[in-house]
Structures are given as C-alpha cells and as structure tokens.
C-alpha cells in the first residue's frame, strides 16, 4: 500500500486509497479572500475516484487515444462530472474559526453559482435542502474531516469525522460540487492539473 500524501503548506494528510477502491487523484487547497484584504487557507482537499469505474469509462470512450491525445480533450472532466462514477471529495479543515454560518454562506456562493451554471435559474430549494443538513450544533474545528461522496445513482452522501450528516439524490448537485474542484474555474488550478495527469496514467 502507498503511503499517505501530505499537503505541504498545511500538513494535512490524505490516505492514498479510501475504502478499498477509491484512489487519490490529487490534492489542493481552498483559500478564501476576506474583504479582498488577505487570503485564508480554509481547507485542504483530496479528490478520489473509483478505480474500476474510471477504467471502464476510459476503455469505452477513449480506447484508441494516446495519453497526450486524451489530455487534450476538454470533455474528459465533463464526462467525469456527469457520469455515475463513485467519487469522494475529502476536506480537511485548516481554518480554526469556521462557523456553520460561514460554511452556509460560502456554500451558497460557490455551489450556488454552479447550480445556476448547470441547472438554470431556480435551484433555491435544492440548495436549501443541502444546507439545511448543516445543523447549528455541528462543530468543525481545525482537523475535522468532511467527506462529500457521490455514490451510485448520483447520491451525495456527507459525513463529518465519519458521522453521517445526510444523503441527497441529485445529479445536478453532485456535478456542481465536483465542478468546484475539476471544472473550468477550479479552486486550485495546480490540483486540477495533477488530477488530469493521474487520470491519464490510470489508463495503463
Ligand atoms: O470568518 O468570516 C470568516 C471567514 C470564513 C471563511 C469561510 C469560508 C468557508 C468555506 C467553506 C468551507 C466548507 C467546509
Ligand atoms: O468550498 O465553497 C466551498 C464549498 C465546499 C463544500 C462544503 C460542504 C461542506 C459540508 C459540511 C457541512 C458541515 C456542517
Ligand atoms: O478543461 O482545461 C481543461 C482541459 C481538460 C482536460 C482534461 C484531460 C483529462 C485527462 C484525462 C485522461 C484520461 C485518460
């Protein structure tokens, strides 16, 4: 088994495999600027995807292409986001003063903009269904680990430190969350590049 990967700036550690089949494809950092004055590191993240699901998708759709050709395909990440591939975004909280209220606000801004992008105008209800899972009594101190997992059937399952928060079935919501990390305007561009390279090498 491979050793965990450590995010260098924060020291957050990511196991190279989750469960028994999800492989770590890349890690990155989510920052947020406060009043345009300074950047805080909010959390480190790792993106995982089911090895055999990815291989299946690759062999069906990209069989005859070389790695460098595939890397030139803009649609691959779209395929990854849209298809029913089991994936997990693992967040490890770095910022020590995170309140549930600021999580809700940030979420409405980041995920809200993606819901609009992919789903059009009226997604308030879906957004509220998700954020209403975040109870005020939850605590997310530095070091907390949150999993956002897309399970079969486009079910988004959330856990905090291994405890269930809830599940919501929505292809749009799953796609919107993944878009934050591997879409056109990702939180961490370097992380996205790393993920693409690792995907390309899974083909072998
Ligand atoms: O204290 O006002 C502040 C800054 C808080 C920034 C919060 C950003 C939250 C990002 C989402 C975190 C998801 C776990
Ligand atoms: O970074 O802007 C962002 C959004 C990331 C998704 C965060 C989901 C957090 C869910 C956990 C809630 C804990 C109460
Ligand atoms: O959107 O900037 C972009 C380009 C996305 C390219 C995605 C390439 C993904 C490579 C995966 C290879 C799978 C065999």
pLDDT tens-digit profile of 122-137?
A: 788 888 888 888 888 8
87-116: pLDDT as tens digits? 999 999 999 999 888 898 899 999 999 999
Q: Which ligand is nearest to the CA of 100?
A: 2
Q: Which residues pair with 90 in a beta bridge?
A: 46, 147
pLDDT for residue 81 is more than 80: no
If one residue of 131, 146, 161 were mutated to test the ligand 2 pocket, choosing by the most ligand atoms within 8 A of its CB, it would be 146
Give ipTM to 2 decimals.
Answer: 0.69
Note the pLDDT of residue 144. 96
pTM for this prediction: 0.87
User: What residues does each domain of the chain span?
Assistant: 5-202
Domain 5-202: top CATH class: alpha beta
CA pair distance 107, 165, nearest whole angstrom: 16
- pLDDT of residue 204 exceeding 60, the answer is no
> Per-residue pLDDT averaged across 151-173, rounded?
94
3-state SS, one letter per residue, for 33-82: EECCCEEEEEEEEEEEEEHHHHHHHHHHHCCCCCHHHHHCCCHHHHHHHH
Query: Whose C-alpha lies nearest to ligand 3, atom 3?
Result: 74
């Amino acid at each position: 088994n491979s050793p965990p990967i450590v995010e260098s700036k924060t020291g957050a550690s990511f196991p190279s495999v989750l469960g028994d089949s999800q492989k770590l494809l890349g890690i990155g950092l989510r920052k947020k600027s406060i009043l345009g004055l300074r950047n805080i590191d909010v959390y480190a993240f790792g993106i995982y995807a089911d090895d055999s699901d990815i291989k299946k998708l690759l062999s069906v759709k990209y069989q005859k292409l070389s790695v460098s050709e595939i890397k030139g395909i803009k649609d691959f990440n779209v395929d990854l986001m849209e298809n029913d591939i089991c994936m997990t975004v693992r967040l490890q909280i770095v910022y020590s003063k995170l309140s549930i209220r600021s999580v809700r606000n940030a979420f409405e801004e980041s995920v809200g903009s993606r819901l609009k992008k992919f789903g059009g105008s009226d997604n308030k209800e879906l957004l509220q269904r998700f954020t209403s899972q975040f109870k005020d009594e939850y605590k997310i101190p530095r070091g907390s680990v949150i999993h956002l997992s897309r399970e079969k059937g486009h079910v988004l399952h959330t856990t905090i430190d291994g405890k269930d928060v809830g599940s919501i079935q929505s292809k749009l919501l799953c796609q919107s969350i993944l878009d934050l990390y591997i879409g056109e305007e990702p939180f961490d561009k370097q992380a996205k590049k790393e993920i693409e390279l690792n995907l390309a090498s899974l083909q072998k």
